[in-house]
């Protein structure tokens, strides 16, 4: 009986050992797989941690920047106030030269340049200042550069065409609308007064001429000079009440043309000037058809009789006056630089 029990126990032990041995590879494989998976997971974790740390670094930088901008030191606060004042000053000066020309423009330009240079250095040296002020600084700097480029462009265009009795009046300067508005709003005569005193009128005339010369090519300064002569520098009743900018007459009996808007009146004036261009397109040639011969009078206003017993007529009286006005505009433009 004891032998039978011993055999039973031994059989159980053998079976258990054999079962364990059969399952050993699977166990080892599972352990090996778990180890590989863990290794891969750890690598992924490292990449993830690295990415998280990078994001956190960025966040820390952003938070640091925000903290600096929201809670600057007393020294930074004072300097930021100074920069703000300098920016306001630069903005005001830039707006001044963009809107209205003055004899002090050269000095104003120097002041703006100096202010922008000083502010630029401060922004480069300190991230807090850059974060707070860079948009205003960039906007002012861009406006100032555009102004300088506009003035340079105007001067280059003026130098390309010399105004004289032989100038081809069908050749445009190529002014942009912005340039011509600036010219007519700011150009001054010999006495320092604005040639066109009404700023709104100057802007409307500039826009109207630039739009019209695209369809009817006429020298822009010639066009505005003809209109200036015909309208008493845009103050006559024909302009104010009838939008007639060219002194255009239907006939001696029917009187002057009336136009609904200033845009229409300016366009018709440019078209009329263009239709009178011929041959070499000089002011004298336009004079022959645009304006009737002028009767020459003495100091008492009486017509002068020539050697042939005829009334003396100055055929180019109109052209000489228009050319004189053109040269006044040209002188005024050269003073803008």
pLDDT one-digit tens code per residue, 244-259: 999 898 876 777 899 9
0.85 exceeded by the pTM?
no
- Looking up tokens 């104003």 gives 108
Range of lowest pLDDT (57-71, 153-167, 286-300): 57-71
Bridge partners of residue 294, in order along the sequence = 314
Q: Report the half-sphere exposure of 311 (CA within 13 A, side-chain side).
A: 10
CA distance 83 to 79: 6
Mean pLDDT confidence for 87-105: 88
pLDDT of 217 above 50: yes
Map out the domains of the chain as residue ranges.
1-71, 74-160, 177-334
The answer to whether 188 touches 162, Cβ cutoff 8 Å, is no
pLDDT of 66 above 50: no
Bridge partners of residue 296, in order along the sequence = none
The answer to whether 150 touches 99, Cβ cutoff 8 Å, is no
pLDDT of 51 above 80: no
Q: What token pair was written down for 10? A: 């031994």
Task: Please give the pLDDT value at position 46.
Answer: 42
Q: What token pair was written down for 156? A: 């280059």
What is the crossing angle of helices 317-334 and 220-231, to 10°?
A: 120
Residue 115: which residues within 8 A CB-CB, separation 6 or more?
86, 87, 89, 90, 93
State whether residue 126 is helix, strand or coil: coil
The answer to whether 122 touches 83, Cβ cutoff 8 Å, is yes
- Looking up tokens 């100057």 gives 202
Q: What token pair was written down for 223? A: 């066009």
What is the chain's length?
A: 337
Quote the distance between the C-alpha of residue 74 and its chain's center: 38
- Least Cα distance to 94 among 79, 85, 105 occurs for 105
CA distance 154 to 158: 6
CA distance 134 to 132: 6
Q: Confidence band (pLDDT; 50, 70, 90) for 12?
A: low
The answer to whether 229 touches 221, Cβ cutoff 8 Å, is no
pLDDT one-digit tens code per residue, 123-156: 988 888 888 899 999 999 999 999 999 999 999 9
- Residue of 89 and 35 predicted with greater confidence: 89
Determine phi and psi for 15, rounding to 5 degrees. Answer: -60, -40
Q: What token pair was written down for 224? A: 């505005």
State whether residue 222 is helix, strand or coil: helix
Q: Which CATH architecture has domain 177-334?
A: Orthogonal Bundle (1.10)
pLDDT one-digit tens code per residue, 183-198: 999 999 888 889 999 9
Q: What is the chain's Cα-based Rg?
A: 42
Mean pLDDT confidence for 91-115: 89
**Average pLDDT for the chain:** 82
- Looking up tokens 């994001």 gives 55
C-alpha dihedral, 307 to 312 to 316 to 320, nearest 10°:
100
- Residue of 275 and 75 predicted with greater confidence: 275
Range of lowest pLDDT (103-117, 174-188, 205-219): 103-117
């Amino acid at each position: 009986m004891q032998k039978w029990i011993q055999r039973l126990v031994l059989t159980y032990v053998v079976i258990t050992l054999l079962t364990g041995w059969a399952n050993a590879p699977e166990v080892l494989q599972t352990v090996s797989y778990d180890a590989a998976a863990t290794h891969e997971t750890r690598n992924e974790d490292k990449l993830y941690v690295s990415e998280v740390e990078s994001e956190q670094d960025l966040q820390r930088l952003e938070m640091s920047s925000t903290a600096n901008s929201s809670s600057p030191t007393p020294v930074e606060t004072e300097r930021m106030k100074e920069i703000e004042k300098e920016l306001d000053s630069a903005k005001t000066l830039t707006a001044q030269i963009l809107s209205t020309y003055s004899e002090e423009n050269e000095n104003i330009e120097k002041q703006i340049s100096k202010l922008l240079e000083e502010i630029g250095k401060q922004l480069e040296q300190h991230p807090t200042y850059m974060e707070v002020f860079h948009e205003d600084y960039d906007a002012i700097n861009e406006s100032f550069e555009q102004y300088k480029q506009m003035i340079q462009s105007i001067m280059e265009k003026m130098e390309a065409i010399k105004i004289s009795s032989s100038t081809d009046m069908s050749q445009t300067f190529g002014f942009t609308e912005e340039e011509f508005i600036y010219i007519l709003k700011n150009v001054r005569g010999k006495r320092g007064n604005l040639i066109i005193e009404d700023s709104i009128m100057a802007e409307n005339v500039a826009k109207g001429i630039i739009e019209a010369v695209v369809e009817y090519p006429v020298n822009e300064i010639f066009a505005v000079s003809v209109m200036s002569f015909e309208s008493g520098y845009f103050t006559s009743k024909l302009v104010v009440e009838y939008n007639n900018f060219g002194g255009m007459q239907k006939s001696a009996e029917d009187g002057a043309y009336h136009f609904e808007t200033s845009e229409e009146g300016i366009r018709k004036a440019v078209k009329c000037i263009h239709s009178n261009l011929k041959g070499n397109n000089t002011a004298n040639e336009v004079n022959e058809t645009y304006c009737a011969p002028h009767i020459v009078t003495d100091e008492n206003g009486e017509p002068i009789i020539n050697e042939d017993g005829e009334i003396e007529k100055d055929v180019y009286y109109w052209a000489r006056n228009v050319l004189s006005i053109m040269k006044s505009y040209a002188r005024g433009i050269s003073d803008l630089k």
